Amino acid sequence: MTLDHLDHHEAIGEDRGEPSVFDATLRPHRSLEPRGFVLLMAVVAIMSFLSGLAFAVHGAWPVMGFFGVDFVAVYLAFRINYRAADSSERVVLSETQLVVERRRHGRLTGRWSFQPYWLRIEVSEDPGAGVVLQSHGRSVAVGSFLSPDERVGFAQALSESISELRLAPHMRS
C-alpha cells in the first residue's frame, strides 16, 4: 500500500474553501520496478531461447515455438498486472464531507460523498473486501488490495481524524 498525503488538492473540498483534515491516496503495491521487469524478461527470453534451441538440436524443432508462446504469455501477464496497478483511491475528509474518488487507468471511475459525523468505518475480514465506509444507508469499500494490517492502519488513521473532527466544535466553545 502506498498512503500518500498529497500536496495538491483537486476539487475535493478545496474548491469550497474547506481545508482537508485527512487526505490519503491508496495504491496497490507492485514490488517489481520497470528495471526489474526488463531484467526478468531478458532472463526469461534467454532461458526460453536456450531451452528451445536444445530441443531443436535434438530434432524437436516445433517445441521451440512453444517456448516463444510461453515468453509472450509471461510478458502479457506482466503488462496486464502493470496496467491494473495504474489505479488509486483517494479519501479526503473535510469539516463537512468525506469524499472517496476511485481512479482506474488515470480516469475517474467513481466518486462518493458522505457526511463525516454519521460515518461508520468497518474493517472487513473478507480478503479483497477492504475497509467499508457507511452512512445513511450508503456504503463503499476502499482499499480492497490492502493487506489486513494495512486495512487496520488506514481505518485507525481515518477514525482518529473523524474523532478529532467530531470533538473540534466542543473544544472551540
Task: Quote the domain boundaries for residue 79.
Answer: 34-84
Closest CA to 93 of 68, 112, 69, 74: 112
| Cα 15 to the center of its chain, rounded Å | 25
Query: By CB neighbour count within 10 A (0-12 exposed, 13-18 middle, 19+ buried), where does 42 fall?
Result: exposed
pLDDT in tens, 39-50: 999 999 999 999
DSSP letter for each residue of 81-143: HHHHHSEEEEEEEESS-EEEEEEETTEEEEEEEE-GGG-EEEE--STTT-EEEEETTEEEEE-
The mean-pLDDT minimum among 17-21, 76-80, 118-122, 137-141 falls in 17-21
Confidence check: pLDDT of 5 > 60: no
**Do 44 and 104 belong together in one domain?**
no
Total count of domains within the chain: 2
**Do 101 and 52 belong together in one domain?**
no
Confidence check: pLDDT of 170 > 70: no
Confidence check: pLDDT of 156 > 50: yes
**Do 149 and 98 belong together in one domain?**
yes
Closest CA to 37 of 70, 77, 97: 77
Question: In which residue are the cell numbers 521487469 written?
Answer: 37
**Do 95 and 156 belong together in one domain?**
yes
| 126 three-state secondary structure | coil
**Do 19 and 44 belong together in one domain?**
no
Residue where a domain stops, chosen among 84, 119, 152: 84
Helices (H), the chain: 34-57, 62-85, 148-172
**Do 114 and 162 belong together in one domain?**
yes
**Do 41 and 114 belong together in one domain?**
no
The mean-pLDDT minimum among 5-9, 16-20, 113-117, 128-132 falls in 5-9
Q: Give percent above pLDDT 70 in the chain.
A: 86
**Do 8 and 43 belong together in one domain?**
no
The pTM (predicted TM-score) of the whole model is 0.65
